[in-house]
Amino acid sequence: MTDPETPRPVYDVDPWCVREQDLHLDRLAQSESVFALANGHIGLRGNLEEGEPHGMPGSYLNSFFELRPLPYAEAGYGYPESGQTVINVTNGKIIRLLVDDEPFDVRYGRLNRHVRSLDMRAGTLTREVEWRSPADDTVRVTSTRLVSLTQRAIAAICYEVEPVHEPVRIVVQSELVANESIPYLGNDPRMAAVLEHPLVSEEHVSNGHRVVLVHRTRRSGLRMAAGMTHEIHGPEKLSTEAESFPDVGRVTVATRLNPGQRLRIVKYLAYGWSSQRSRPALHDQVVAALADARLTGWEGLLREQREFLDEFWEGADVEVDGDPEVQQAVRFALFHILQAGARAERRMIPSKGLTGPGYDGHTFWDTETFVLPVLTYTFPTAAADALAWRRMTLPLAEERARTLGLEGAAFPWRTIRGQECSGYWPAGTAAFHVNADIADAVVRYVDATEDAEFEREIGLELLVATARLWRSLGHHDVHGGFRIDGVTGPDEYSALTDNNVYTNLMAQRNLRAAADMAMRHPEVADRLGVTTEEAASWRDAADAMLIPYDERLGVHPQSEQFTNHARWDFSQVGPDQYPLLLHFPYFDLYRKQVVKQADLVLAMHLRGDAFTEEQKRRNFAYYEAITVRDSSLSAQTQAVIAAEVGHLDLAHDYLGETALIDLHDLAGNTRDGLHLASLAGTWNALVAGFGGMRACQGCLSFAPRLPGGISRLSFRIRYRGRRLCVTVTAEKALYELHQGPPLRIAHHGEEFELGEDPVRLAVPPIPSVPRPAQPHGRGPAPRRTDPSGRLRPVQRGEL
């Protein structure tokens, strides 16, 4: 029996589906993010078809943005002058229904049934409704929505309505709506002025069942087109008409339905945008896409979607026995990560994907550091496309470096189109580690795919440009060490520090990788102007890189002198004073030992080769005590290293936090869009944490161990043209090669060749180690069981 004081979870726990059994109007915006569909080009929030009520309307095109001014109390040289903000484009989801003249609105009449289901194998969002109108007419409405993973410009909705008891008059209005009203945007009137009516009409046409609207942005100079066409099936007596206006296109269908009859409308949507193509060209583009979609048909689109996802899951699925919430969450994470990048095709992957307007739709370093590893080992073409986009923006990064008086490229902290959009330079411009994070993603992708063409045409140029930045930014001191001073690492509660360990270690890898890749491709290196002397200077800097170490404490300081700072007094911080940045001045945070998110611990994950096992254990314990996780990026990294050093149950707790960030709305802001990097952390915590997977220079290794709450873990990955499956229990690990030639891998340091026959190996025990403490009140919620033996669900705010 359910405890009456325990709130019922918003979504059912199901291994392949996210299902909402009742409509929760107070969680409407959260569900719109959770139920969002996308393909990397188009993103549609999970708004109700009738358009109202909504938490936040949202239809997005990747990299389609408007410019807005950046506020400064005092401007300075090199400050970015304008920002870029993703905008809500023409909404094609709207299908309004009138039943005997009564508008279908879930806030009126009575909902006998309302179920929404996100099917992660079919790639569809289904809605089933039985509604009794205020006039006592009852109808069933079923809709199925998809954003095509095979036809990049296409989304489609199958909408069906039928009477339950009595004959009814039905009118359906299928619409395209631009410049929708949006919720309150905050106190900045300049933001509201930019986003309230961002689109200017250039064309609107209607013809039969088809409507096309073309708009352009007022400031950024981008042009977009949206089109819709329909297949309509119902009684013989149907009335249809189409009309268009500057911001609205509408196809209206009217009929009378008797019990047993059904009106079925398939709505095909097409979207395209460009900064260069003309209005006629974009118009023709969406008309052509609509024609292709109609040729495929609704059933064909469903079939293509399922086949695409079947192939993806064959090389990406993760199975978790013992924790059904995490089982659902890891597939939810993989599904949304795929949606964010599958058809991005040389455009960015935003931090929220295409699920909401959070962070202005920007991409950050967390795409390369947390999201691209997942795609590299599950859907590598998307990782290549994301890095190709970085290569396309390289001229802007080189221009930014020149503005800052540096060589090479200074990639932006946050951006949509490649220009720096961060108005706070200590956490933006000074966070140069983004350059090494991009380089690290290049090295990882090349290692995992052996893609020589990518290495020559994209990878080397990115590595050379970023290596030049480090050689310019750092310097050799009087003792011969190579220093990188005055930078900000991943921890945003420390800024402008000297020799941040994470930054220095990642720069070191960047410098060595650039020199090695230049040697492999001398003709490309020569074209880029790389001399033997320059490559040698990169190696010298890498070899001399200063990595601070506190001999007194036996730990690595996060940056030089960090362990000499005063400790933050956590006993004086109440639970309502987190995140600290909203209640304490940065001045105080910057000069104390308090960590917003894993920094030194992240270095131990990505540069584990630079630390001994004892150093990892001591470092982890030290930083656990001062890390408050005011960033959703932190828990996954703490999970990975907790698992590596032997804190398996603690790692499971952190896994729950990163996995359920959006399904349980733990941060209270899922309404703004999903936390894509945190979702990626579900995979990272399971595969890199409990699977112990590491890959470098063709060496794929695993060190699997499971916590008590997980009885079995199985995951599939792609590596160098192979498909592998690793299955772990408490005692054994099973390695299987599902596709490709034999491969040498390692299990807890023991190398073997994996070929046609599966290999079973024992999982060695791990020594018991004391569980470290976290700041008061900031420990992760335990994945403990309730009295029935089931895992107790983590609730919002329980961090």
pLDDT band at 80 (very low <50, low <70, confident <90, very high): confident
pLDDT for res 194: 53
Among 691, 695, 689, 683, smallest CA distance to 446 is for: 695
Please answer whether residues 638 and 654 qualify as being in contact, where contact means their C-beta atoms are separated by less than 8 angstroms: yes
Q: CA 88, CA 264: separation in Å to the nearest integer?
A: 28
Contacts 24+ apart (CB under 8 A), 708-711: 708/648, 708/649, 708/652, 709/322, 709/323, 709/649, 709/652, 709/783, 709/791, 710/320, 710/321, 710/322, 710/323, 710/326, 710/652, 711/321, 711/322
pLDDT band at 69 (very low <50, low <70, confident <90, very high): confident
CATH 3.30.70.260 fits 430-572+584-631, yes or no: no
Tell whether residue 596 is among the known ligand binding residues.
Answer: yes
Mean pLDDT value across residues 723-731: 97
In this predicted structure, the answer to whether residue 188 has a pLDDT above a threshold of 70 is no
In this predicted structure, the answer to whether residue 185 has a pLDDT above a threshold of 90 is no
pLDDT for res 81: 80
At 379-401, the pLDDT tens digits run 999 999 999 999 999 999 999 99
Query: What CATH superfamily is the domain 41-296?
Result: Glycoside hydrolase, family 65, N-terminal domain (2.70.98.40)
pLDDT for res 784: 63
Please answer whether residues 185 and 192 qualify as being in contact, where contact means their C-beta atoms are separated by less than 8 angstroms: yes
Q: CA 321, CA 340: separation in Å to the nearest integer?
A: 27
pLDDT band at 798 (very low <50, low <70, confident <90, very high): very low
Q: CA 684, CA 686: separation in Å to the nearest integer?
A: 6
Q: CA 504, CA 655: separation in Å to the nearest integer?
A: 28
Which residues pair with residue 270 across a beta bridge? Answer: 154, 227
pLDDT band at 182 (very low <50, low <70, confident <90, very high): confident
pLDDT band at 768 (very low <50, low <70, confident <90, very high): confident
- Cα angle value 326/329/332 (rounded, 5°): 155
Q: CA 661, CA 673: separation in Å to the nearest integer?
A: 11
Mean pLDDT value across residues 327-337: 98
pLDDT for res 147: 98
In this predicted structure, the answer to whether residue 795 has a pLDDT above a threshold of 60 is no
Tell whether residue 597 is among the known ligand binding residues.
Answer: yes
Residue type, 347: R
Q: CA 619, CA 616: separation in Å to the nearest integer?
A: 5
Q: CA 290, CA 204: separation in Å to the nearest integer?
A: 16
pLDDT for res 791: 56
DSSP secondary structure of 59-116: EEETT-EEEEEPP-SS--TT---EEEEE----B---EEEEETTEEP-TTSSEEEEEEE
Tokens of residue 721, six digits = 């043209």
Q: CA 514, CA 229: separation in Å to the nearest integer?
A: 51
Residue-averaged pLDDT of the chain: 94
pLDDT for res 766: 87
In the numeric block, the tokens 């994070």 are attached to 437
pLDDT for res 233: 97
Percent of the chain with pLDDT over 70: 95
In this predicted structure, the answer to whether residue 673 has a pLDDT above a threshold of 90 is yes
CA distances from residue 266 to 175, 212, 233 in whole angstroms, order as listed: 13, 17, 9
Provide the annotated active-site residues.
Answer: 492
pLDDT band at 184 (very low <50, low <70, confident <90, very high): low
Q: CA 604, CA 608: separation in Å to the nearest integer?
A: 5
At 81-140, the pLDDT tens digits run 889 999 999 999 999 999 999 999 999 999 999 999 999 999 999 999 999 999 999 999
In this predicted structure, the answer to whether residue 559 has a pLDDT above a threshold of 90 is yes
What one-character DSSP code corresponds to residue 459? I
CA distances from residue 576 to 313, 653, 759, 777 in whole angstroms, order as listed: 41, 22, 51, 11
| Distance from the Cα of residue 358 to its chain's centroid | 12
Please answer whether residues 237 and 151 qualify as being in contact, where contact means their C-beta atoms are separated by less than 8 angstroms: no
Phi/psi at 526 (5° precision): -65, -40
pLDDT for res 8: 58
Tokens of residue 614, six digits = 């004892």
Tokens of residue 170, six digits = 């039905």
pLDDT for res 75: 77
Mean pLDDT value across residues 778-787: 76
pTM, rounded to two decimals: 0.95
In this predicted structure, the answer to whether residue 3 has a pLDDT above a threshold of 90 is no
pLDDT for res 165: 92
Which of the pair, 722 or 786, is modelled with greater confidence?
Answer: 722
Which of the pair, 668 or 74, is modelled with greater confidence?
Answer: 668
Mean pLDDT value across residues 780-794: 61
Give the three-class secondary structure for 505: helix
Domain residue limits, the chain = 41-296, 430-572+584-631
Lowest mean pLDDT, pick from 223-232, 361-370, 510-519, 786-795 = 786-795
| 773, burial (CB in 10 Å: exposed 0-12, middle 13-18, buried 19+) | exposed
- Angle 634-645/676-683 helices, nearest 10 degrees? 20
Among 175, 159, 148, 150, smallest CA distance to 37 is for: 148
Residue type, 465: A
pLDDT for res 66: 95
Neighbouring CB atoms inside 10 A of 156's CB total 27
Lowest mean pLDDT, pick from 59-73, 167-181, 460-474, 753-767 = 59-73
Among 434, 432, 538, 426, smallest CA distance to 493 is for: 426
Among 647, 622, 651, smallest CA distance to 637 is for: 651
In this predicted structure, the answer to whether residue 646 has a pLDDT above a threshold of 60 is yes
Tokens of residue 742, six digits = 């034999």
**H-run or E-run covering 37:** strand 37-38
pLDDT band at 613 (very low <50, low <70, confident <90, very high): very high
In the numeric block, the tokens 């569980």 are attached to 771
Give the three-class secondary structure for 645: helix
In this predicted structure, the answer to whether residue 7 has a pLDDT above a threshold of 60 is no
Tell whether residue 365 is among the known ligand binding residues.
Answer: yes
At 266-308, the pLDDT tens digits run 999 999 999 999 999 999 999 999 999 999 999 999 999 999 9
